[in-house]
Chains A and B, each alone.
Chain A
């Protein structure tokens, strides 16, 4: 199968609702442009091309092992599409909790792509040994445990613990609507979900606006399927905040009534605080100096900063922070096909090259 053949098949797969809902619209042209952007030419995997005084060809890994986590199929689908585009055989180690959203989706892929995919429930030494590249998505502890089982010749790409945040500089009404979407989509289960929104200006007023938009989003996209554990975590967070708010006028609690659907917490501390997930978000005043010191230790896990209003100069002014992606608010959950996931070029990081000359 040539790269063009795979692109056509993948375009069909990307048109499936289960993929399009996660990745947005992805066409054959997009896939061609993506591979060309990362590897120089669309045909880089098919033939030797001039490369300075040499002729070079990209070599995809024979087998890619994708170790995926159970919180969201989003990252898993992205990872598998990358492997399929390169023409590798894709071995998927499913989480112990299963990932029906992923397996159900793969079952609808074109047959020629399905032959390039196999799924497994457990991570055996045999699977690890036959993998040329290993992409691990999970907690830092899991990634470390997997890394210890890899061999020096294997490409290892870790996607560990990550969180995202928003920054609002103005236009509060639109910003609240966009932030509510970025917070609520996928119930904050993914790396691109906002845990906190920093606000330049009246952050308490913004909290109220965000609460209203969280409610509107919930009406259209009901929250369901909370476990007892998750419900307990939300309740604990709310009651702790209620205690703080009773003792500190700068702390505010906004919550859905008669339900655990959403929670907005205003707190003055600039430290990036992890949410307990499931549509619970912190709003904080934007510190005068925003840097890893003011954001605290969680900032080293930043994946994405979503800002509003977006501007290239404003985005560039935040590049001293550890996040690898700064995007418009409202789009944190839909990264471009071209994004460098955790700083990695997703296709270029997987291939090796052969040179002639």
Chain B
């Protein structure tokens, strides 16, 4: 049996190694699965009910995935360690009446390493002079996004401005002051925060040359809906940023790694310790190239919970993604069926003004 410290050590090495090939990924994935099967009781029960055990698996495709909703059940936490040893818990967003998903960690060493190593492996620009449109980590201790921003700030940034205060208000003065110099700035925040920024700007900002932005997240829990193309047009009109200067980050509380794309017409790509499948929900088999399905993510950095996560996000994969980039996909958006349903809510229509 692999000792958890040995697997974690090997994962750190893999992240430092600049790329995990298919064979190495598969071997490590099977070790991670065995570790999780042996030590995560709730997941083991699930696997046994499916008739799956480490000794009868040969490929990471066969590793059972759990849904993101499985992280919501406090009575059966998805952890490979005694819950009392939890050092950090990230919670999903949602209304107070909704059950929140909990992702527990005995330490954040591997989590933080995944953030910084992904950034390096995917050759993303260093956010040296940053404006974060999220609460700083101390103000949002259960937000995995704020934590990630904190890691990026600590790792790369010489100067960081946290432009969302504890009550969620944008600090417009700090933002406008921060972009007046001639050093390129990096803006990092949620799509919703950018919308608020654009609405509050009385005139377009001119960012220094070489500036760029990272946006993440959708409009979950709000009445807002905006196509990505429309949002990026606003970036151009309000900040002078071309689409290729905008990076989109895709991740979730239930994962430990992130996927990135730049501009409008490129797939998301993750680090080499992740793999993805796009599953046709009718057949539960891989969707054909170009056909939409639901995204299933295999993230080895999720060592302390479950590595295989079934999302409710729709995606597709091109022939090129399937041939070359096993961790690349085109995100099609949040599945509308994942929203609360009921009479009329089920097929609600947008009111179209005349």
The answer to whether A and B assemble together is yes
Q: Does A218 contact B (CB under 8 A)?
A: no
User: Which of B146-154, B167-175, B344-352 is found at the contact surface with chain A?
Assistant: B344-352
Q: In the complex, how many angstroms separate the beta carbon of A21 from the nearest chain B beta carbon?
A: 19
Question: Does B67 reach chain A (CB closer than 8 Å)?
Answer: yes
| B75 pairs with A71, CB closer than 8 A | no
Q: Say if the beta carbon of B55 comes within 8 Å of chain A.
A: no
One digit per residue, 1 when the CB lies within 8 angstroms of any chain A CB and 0 when it does not, for chain B 50-74 equals 1000000000000001110110010
Segment of A38-46, A83-91, A231-239 in the binding face: A231-239
Chain B residues with CB under 8 A of A242: 46, 49-50
B315-354 near A? 1/0 per residue, CB < 8 Å? 0000000000000000000011110111111111111111
* Residues A223-270 near B (CB distance < 8 A): 226-236, 239-240, 242-248, 260
| Interface members, chain A 157-216 (any B CB < 8 Å) | 159-163, 189-193, 195
B227 at the A/B interface (Cβ < 8 Å)? Answer: no
Are the C-beta atoms of B342 and A274 separated by less than 8 Å?
Answer: yes
Chain A contact residues (Cβ within 8 angstroms of B): what range? 35 or more
In the complex, which residues of chain B have a beta carbon less than 8 angstroms from the beta carbon of A161?
342-345
Q: Which of B49, B347, B353 contacts A69 (CB 8 A)?
A: B347
The answer to whether A71 touches B344 (Cβ under 8 A) is yes
- Neighbouring B residues of A195 by C-beta, 8 Å: 342
CA distance A125 to B354 in the complex (A): 7
A301 CA to B310 CA, complexed, in Å: 30
Given contacts A96-B349, A96-B352, A247-B45, contact A276 B337 (CB under 8 A): yes
A69 and B348 in contact (CB under 8 A), knowing A233-B335, A246-B49? yes
Query: In the complex, what residues of B have CB within 8 A of residue A139's CB?
Result: 344-345, 348
Complex Cα–Cα for A231 and B292 (A): 12
Contacts of A316 in B (CB 8 A): none
Query: In this assembly, does B314 line the interface, its C-beta being within 8 Å of a C-beta of chain A?
Result: yes
Please name all residues of chain B whose beta carbon is closer than 8 Å to the beta carbon of A277 when the two chains form the complex: 341, 346
Contact partner of B312 (CB less than 8 A), chosen from A96, A146, A232, is: A232
A163 CA to B65 CA in the complex, in Å? 31
* A residues near B70, Cβ cutoff 8 Å: 240, 243-244
- Chain B residue numbers with a CB within 8 Å of A317 are none
Interface residue B293 (Cβ < 8 Å from any Cβ of A): yes
A246-B46, A303-B343 known; A236+B312 contact, CB < 8 A: yes
**Is A220 positioned at the interface, with any CB of B under 8 Å from its CB?**
no
Residues of A within 8 A of B280 (CB): 228
Q: How far is the CA of A137 from the CA of B343 in the complex (A)?
A: 9
- Whether B281 is near chain A, meaning CB under 8 Å from some CB there, is yes
> Do A229 and B46 touch (CB < 8 A)?
no
B5 at interface, CB cutoff 8 A: no
Question: Which residue from B294, B340, B343 sits with its C-beta under 8 Å from A232?
Answer: B294
Residues of A within 8 A of B345 (CB): 139-140, 161
Check if A97 sits within 8 Å of B67, measured CB to CB.
Answer: no
B230 interface residue per 8 A CB criterion = no
The answer to whether B284 touches A228, judged by C-beta atoms less than 8 angstroms apart, is no
Contact across chains for B76 and A247 when beta carbons are under 8 A apart: yes
Q: Kindly state whether residue A122 has any CB partner on chain B within 8 Å.
A: yes
Contact of A122 (CB < 8 Å), options: B45, B223, B344, B352: B352
- Other-chain residue from B282, B284, B349 in contact with A138 (beta carbon distance below 8 A): B349
Do the beta carbons of A247 and B73 come within 8 Å of each other?
yes
Residues on A with beta carbons closer than 8 Å to the beta carbon of B354? 122-126
- What is the CA–CA distance of A70 and B346 in the complex, to the nearest angstrom? 9
A309, CB-defined interface residue at 8 Å: no
Query: Nearest B residue to A229 by beta-carbon distance?
Result: B337
CB of A123 within 8 A of CB of B344, answer: no
Q: Assess whether B48 is interfacial by the CB under 8 Å rule.
A: yes
A248 to chain B, nearest CB (A): 7
**Nearest CB on A from B290, distance (A):** 14
With a cutoff of 8 Å between Cβ atoms, the chain B residues found around residue A303 in the complex are 343
Set of chain A residues within 8 Å of B343, measured between Cβ atoms: 71, 161-163, 189-193, 303
- Complex formed: what's the CA distance from A39 to B197 in Å? 56
Residues of B that sit less than 8 Å from A by CB: 42, 45-46, 48-50, 65-67, 69-70, 73, 75-76, 97, 223, 280-282, 284, 292-294, 310, 312, 314, 335-338, 340-354
List 25 A–B pairs whose Cβ atoms lie within 8 Å, in order of A's numbering: A69-B349, A70-B347, A71-B343, A97-B349, A122-B352, A139-B348, A141-B348, A142-B348, A145-B351, A160-B344, A163-B342, A189-B343, A191-B343, A229-B335, A233-B312, A233-B337, A233-B341, A242-B46, A243-B70, A245-B49, A246-B45, A246-B46, A247-B73, A260-B281, A274-B341
Chain A residues within 8 Å of B, Cβ to Cβ: 69-71, 95-97, 122-126, 137-142, 145-146, 159-163, 189-193, 195, 226-236, 239-240, 242-248, 260, 274-277, 297-298, 301, 303
Besides A162-B343, A244-B76, 5 other A-B contacts (C-beta < 8 A): A70-B348, A123-B351, A142-B349, A232-B338, A247-B76
